[in-house]
Structure formats: C-alpha cells, structure tokens
Amino acid sequence: MKFSANLGFLWNDRPLPDAIHAAKAAGFDAVECHWPYDIPAEDVRAALDATGLPMLGLNTSRGDVAGGENGLAALPGRTQDAHAAIDQAVAYGEAIGAGAIHVMCGFASGHGAHGTFVDNLRYACNATDKTILIEPLNRNDAPGYFLQTTDQARTIIAEVNAPNLKLMFDCYHVGRTEGDILTRLSDLHDIIGHIQFASVPDRGAPDHGELDYATIFAALTDWPAPLGAEYKPGGDTDATLGWMQQFR
C-alpha cells in the first residue's frame, strides 16, 4: 500500500518545497497539492527532484476567494477566466511534472452550469494529455458547490467522453454525502483517476471516525497508485502519522 501526502493540509505551516522534503522524511511515496502558484515552479521541481517524489496533482485556481469563489469551470459567463485557470494549471503542472489537474467547478447550479462545466472540461482535456480530475464535494463543507455526487460526476464524464477525464474519489466527501464507500469504489472503479481519504466526520487522520479504513484499504490493495492523505492534522503533522505504519 502506497500513500501520497496532500500538502494543502499536511505540513502546510511551511513553504511547499520544505513540505515536500518533510513528506519524504516521513516515508510518503508521493505528494500532491492544492494551489501552489505563489511558489516558483522551479523551486517545487527542485524539491521533487531532490526527494524523488512524484507530484500526483494540483488544483485549478478557485478564483476570487475573498469574494466567495471556489472554482470557475461551472460558472456561466466566466469561460475566459475558467480557461485562464486551466491554462495556468497545465503550464505549472508541466513545469513540475504533475500527473493530474483537478478542475474546480465552483458554486453554481442548473442546466447552464452543467453545460458550462462540460464545455470547460472538454477544453481542459484537449489542452493537455495529463489526467483531468473532477471531484464531488459534500454539501456540508461546500454548500452550493456544483458537483456534489459521484452519480453526477459519472454523467458528466460520460458526456464529455474524453479518455483523460477521471473521477477524484475522496472517501471523506463520498462518506459524508453518500456512504457505502466499498460499493461506490467498486461501481465507479473504471472512471476513478485518484483516491483520497480522511476520517468522517471531522476530516482528521484515518485512525478514527465512522469509516473503517482497515477494511477500505484492504479492498484497495490492487490499486496501482498511491492513495492521497488529504486530512487536517489539527497540529503537528508528524504527530498524526501512526496510521501509516499501521495500514501499510
């Protein structure tokens, strides 16, 4: 079993290159991040080269965070901004060798938002041969986010019909919205591009809570890529890593 450290949450008290080194020292097999754009890409690439860790993915920009935005790709009338965010992520991802780009849809609803998201995802899939990911966010943490369920994601992936568009299956979000994680993982296996995890409901380390990660990880022993630890440590990250040796 291999694990990836999501550096949006883990070791986020230090610059991203330093967090990459911390992940290596802790024994992670890969890293991933949220929005690295304030850090020069060459600094991130140097840390990845020094540690030998692959960068699995990054997110497109959320837009105007102070104004309440959380992604742009499903916002009607914001196509130019959405394309700019995709282009930024593609360029940065290429510079650091990232494997995937998570295209964030934002707060929207209705047929117009659906069509806008589909069109922007086609743009993203044509802009790069990297994996393009979409991720449903649960309605408790992100009320009003356009993409909320795995069934909705499956419909969109089928409509876009691009070989590099995949589902980011976050056990935490699916656990809070849909439950039945093992069945959902099995049913969606053919469209999943990355798997993340955290405890439910507090989004802490996977050593407590409603989800039995010993059972979930046992069902994922054949998954070919590292699983993404995207949990909130609530303090010193190193003090929360007992689960990793337990589940390996």
Tokens of 24: 């290596």
Q: How far is CA 231 from CA 79, 80, 109, 123, 221, in A?
A: 31, 32, 28, 31, 21
Dihedrals phi, psi of 189, to nearest 5 degrees: -50, -40
Tokens representing 67? 């104004």
Known catalytic residues are: 135, 230
At 61, which CATH number?
A: 3.20.20.150
Helices (H), 52-170: 79-96, 111-127, 150-160
Structure tokens at 159: 């409509």
Query: Closest Cα to residue 33, out of 14, 66, 25?
Result: 14
Q: Where are the beta strands (DSSP E) in the chain?
A: 3-6, 30-32, 57-59, 100-102, 131-134, 165-170, 192-197, 227-229
> Can you give the residue range of the structural domain that contains 178?
3-247
User: How much is the pLDDT for 111?
Assistant: 97
Per-residue pLDDT of the chain (248 residues; tens, 9 = 90+): 999 999 999 999 999 999 999 999 999 999 999 999 999 999 999 999 999 999 999 999 999 999 999 999 999 999 999 999 999 999 999 999 999 999 999 999 999 999 999 999 999 999 999 999 999 999 999 999 999 999 999 999 999 999 999 999 999 999 999 999 999 999 999 999 999 999 999 999 999 999 999 999 999 999 999 999 999 999 999 999 999 999 98
Task: Tell which residue, 202, 199, 247, has the closest CA to residue 226.
Answer: 247
What's the total number of domains in the chain? 1
DSSP H/E element including 247: helix 242-247
**CA dist., res. 92 & res. 35, Å (int):** 10
Write out the two tokens for 220: 């994922």
pTM here is 0.97
